[in-house]
Chain A
Amino acid sequence: MTGETVRADLAVMGGGLTGMALALAAAAGGAKVAVVEAQPLATMTAAPFDGRVTAVALGSKRLLDAIGAWDGMAAHAQPILDIEVGEADGPARVRYDHRTIGDEPLGWIVENRTIRQALIARAQAHSGIEVLAPARVVGMTLEEAGRRLDLADGRRVLAPLLAVAEGRESRTRADLGIRARRRAYGQTAFVCTLALEHDHGGLAVERFFPDGPFAMLPMTGRRSSIVWALDDRLAGDISGLDDLDFLGEVAERFGDDLGDLALEGPRFAYPLGLVEAERATAPRAALVGDALRGIHPIAGQGWNLALRDVGALAEILADRRRLGLDPGAPEALDRYENWRRFDGFALVAATDGINRLFANDLFPLKLARNFGLGLVERALPVKRRIMRGAMGLAGDLPRLMRGLPL
């Protein structure tokens, strides 16, 4: 079967949150981008609210701003003004006030469907982006000058570089011969949205219980998103509860500060685990986002890290484009590989109190126990560093995340 050949500077496999953000960031640098997505776009944009939200850190917000996608979601983004971290019963609490750092909020909570709609609308309006959806890939070939994707409808996509943004269970990752390491945490996370009687005032709360942490993230419209991790042994009991009993458990842990609570949307349960690709690249291919490393199955918790991949790859592409260099040559891929390996490691190593809301990491718990939360509360420099880390402002940041042009 013969058909049209789409030539692009970058082919992106997967048109989800990460794939679309990458397409926009690369196109902002002047690249011509082809996005291949299995689902029809209409299905993706029309999806009703499914309860999943993303905590967008400041660095990520800057990137979204730079690629023109933030405007489409700003009205539905709840700023996080304060974060309170503490043990369930102890008196010690650390309160991170955004004014410690500056005027900017510590982050924003946005519904995934809102982000998706904003990204897709922007991508469709961009003359440098061609979205092929629904499109099924039936073959992938490594050629001298790039990767070729054969689509089921007979079309072909030809690009010097293929970015794989298919999520943690990426099939293309396996096709590229990149193995993934997996580690189960033995915990299950429950995620749901609550309607509140009283306003949350932009306060995010995280409390540590002996059987796992419990977080409440403020959303627009007097709602909160609950993220509650539990040992697998206990998780089964909670899963079996009906909505009313489930709410009762939540209220017991959370207290009655916000008045009556009501469920909005379905309850999700995710097994917690880590999926990490052994390498970030293969010849003429790069993994981005969850396909590279899924630090948390709760949608969006890993997206800040994914956007760092996006910012890094877009920056490498723009730098090479400025010099007329092949975007998918080994030198470009080596740079990405080194950048991401170091950053991923640094993120795991340089962890902190609120980061737990954004990533999944046990350091704050240790911090709380070893040094006492009160000590952190009083040590402003430590607190500032912790906050900058969680706001996505630490490490070797891509230009887009520092508020700079590509």
Chain B
Amino acid sequence: MGKNERTYEDGAVDADEVDRFDAIAAEWWDEKGPMRPLHRMNPVRLAFIQGALAARPDRPPPDRPPEATLDGLDLLDVGCGAGLLAEPLARLGASVTGIDPSERAIEAARRHAEAGGLDVRYRPATAGQLLDEGLRFDAVTALEVIEHVPDPEGFAYELASLLRPGGVLVLSTLNRTPSSFAKAIVGAEYALRWLPRGTHDWRRFLKPSEAARLLRMQGLDVFDLAGIGYDPGRDRFALSKNRDTNYILAARKVG
């Protein structure tokens, strides 16, 4: 379907607004635009998530072609934005629900998934709202979200409660170290201008031990933890032992 042939069934959405959604989607999905760091980080995150969810090594055994490894998994992506993570997870076979408080982001995400023929349920909602509705999932992902919420403890409670027993939470965030201050605030926001200034408040960052404690209080056991390092020479992110700046963890709900 070409851009001009598109029809909008929802009368409440005016054309200017629609153009703006498309502009937002285009910006989110532009690999060389403002969301570039997230795009660059995506392969690493996805490899980690697959490892945590499918409990399989990164590479498939030689006699089997790569295939959908998350088949049948009921997954919630919290803070999905325009769907940068939700879409790949859907391609891998998961049944994905994506939520974000920003209605614009959700509308942009819907349009992008539809254009690509992908089936993702997007909703403008918070984790708390879904919890109130009694929804539960096999897996929950919340990447680079917890550092933006005012009450991390309450957020951890919501994430844990949204999981079925045995379910897996994958969480990524920024460590609170001199290194993360230098890289994420001074580097990414000021020197490289990767992120708008004021995106992050360094004092809110959690150390891995603090995150693990927070989750353990909600009945979640951390079983995998890795740093995400940036190699400027190759312009590439990779999982590493160094958790000083970005890190990602997987925790299982006990019981």
Chain A, residues 367-397, CB within 8 Å of chain B (1/0): the string is 0000000000000000000000000000000
Name the interface size band of chain B.
20 to 34
Name the interface size band of chain A.
20 to 34
- When A325-B46, A330-B31 are in contact, do A145 and B66 touch as well, CB less than 8 Å? no
In the bound complex, CA of A331 to CA of B65 (Å): 22
CB-CB contacts below 8 Å: A141-200 with B: 141, 143-146, 158, 160
Contact B43 A325 (CB under 8 A): yes
Chain A, residues 20-45, CB within 8 Å of chain B (1/0): the string is 00000000111000000000000000
Q: Does B39 contact A (CB under 8 A)?
A: yes
CB-CB contacts below 8 Å: A390-406 with B: 404-406
Q: Does A83 contact B (CB under 8 A)?
A: no
Q: Cβ of A405: which chain B residues have Cβ within 8 Å of it? A: 62-63
Distance in angstroms from A199 CB to nearest chain B CB is 39
Q: Cβ of A326: which chain B residues have Cβ within 8 Å of it? A: 87-88, 116
- When A323-B46, A324-B46 are in contact, do A143 and B66 touch as well, CB less than 8 Å? no
Distance in angstroms from A283 CB to nearest chain B CB is 12
In this complex, what residue of B is CB-closest to A322? B66
Distance in angstroms from B116 CB to nearest chain A CB is 4
In this complex, what residue of A is CB-closest to B42? A325
Q: Cβ of B65: which chain A residues have Cβ within 8 Å of it? A: 28-30, 318, 406
Q: Cβ of B2: which chain A residues have Cβ within 8 Å of it? A: 141, 143
Choose from A30, A141, A143, A323 the contact partner of B115 (Cβ within 8 Å).
A143
Q: Does A76 contact B (CB under 8 A)?
A: no
In the bound complex, CA of A145 to CA of B39 (Å): 16
Q: Cβ of A267: which chain B residues have Cβ within 8 Å of it? A: none
Please choose the segment from B89-97, B127-135, B156-164, B204-212 that sits at the chain A interface, where 4 or more of its residues have CB less than 8 A away: B89-97
In the bound complex, CA of A331 to CA of B32 (Å): 9
Q: Does A329 contact B (CB under 8 A)?
A: yes
- When A325-B42, A325-B88 are in contact, do A406 and B32 touch as well, CB less than 8 Å? no
- When A28-B65, A323-B46, A325-B46 are in contact, do A144 and B115 touch as well, CB less than 8 Å? yes
Distance in angstroms from B87 CB to nearest chain A CB is 7
Q: Does B102 contact A (CB under 8 A)?
A: no
Q: Does B55 contact A (CB under 8 A)?
A: no
Chain B, residues 23-49, CB within 8 Å of chain A (1/0): the string is 000000001100000010011001100
In this complex, what residue of A is CB-closest to B45? A323
Q: Does B233 contact A (CB under 8 A)?
A: no
Distance in angstroms from A325 CB to nearest chain B CB is 5
- When A141-B2, A330-B32, A331-B31 are in contact, do A30 and B46 touch as well, CB less than 8 Å? no
In the bound complex, CA of A29 to CA of B89 (Å): 18
Q: Cβ of A28: which chain B residues have Cβ within 8 Å of it? A: 65
Distance in angstroms from A404 CB to nearest chain B CB is 8
Q: Cβ of B89: which chain A residues have Cβ within 8 Å of it? A: 324
- When A143-B115, A323-B46 are in contact, do A331 and B39 touch as well, CB less than 8 Å? yes
In the bound complex, CA of A341 to CA of B46 (Å): 28
Q: Does A136 contact B (CB under 8 A)?
A: no
- When A318-B66, A406-B66 are in contact, do A324 and B1 touch as well, CB less than 8 Å? no
CB-CB contacts below 8 Å: A306-346 with B: 318, 321-326, 329-331
Q: Cβ of B151: which chain A residues have Cβ within 8 Å of it? A: none
Distance in angstroms from A99 CB to nearest chain B CB is 29
Q: Cβ of B60: which chain A residues have Cβ within 8 Å of it? A: 322
Chain A, residues 221-248, CB within 8 Å of chain B (1/0): the string is 0000000000000000000000000000
In the bound complex, CA of A325 to CA of B87 (Å): 8
In this complex, what residue of A is CB-closest to B44? A323
Distance in angstroms from B81 CB to nearest chain A CB is 16
Q: Cβ of B66: which chain A residues have Cβ within 8 Å of it? A: 29-30, 318, 321-322, 406
Q: Does A98 contact B (CB under 8 A)?
A: no
Q: Does B218 contact A (CB under 8 A)?
A: no
Contact A324 B90 (CB under 8 A): yes
Q: Cβ of A321: which chain B residues have Cβ within 8 Å of it? A: 66, 91
5 closest Cβ contacts across the A-B interface?
Answer: A324-B88, A145-B116, A324-B91, A324-B92, A405-B62
A-B contact pairs, 21 of them (CB 8 A): A30-B66, A143-B2, A144-B3, A144-B115, A145-B115, A145-B116, A146-B116, A158-B117, A318-B65, A322-B58, A322-B66, A323-B46, A323-B88, A324-B87, A324-B88, A325-B42, A325-B46, A325-B88, A325-B91, A331-B31, A331-B39
Name 16 extra pairs, CB < 8 A, besides A28-B65, A143-B3, A323-B46.
A29-B66, A30-B65, A141-B2, A143-B1, A144-B3, A144-B112, A145-B115, A145-B117, A158-B117, A322-B66, A323-B92, A324-B87, A324-B90, A325-B42, A325-B91, A406-B65
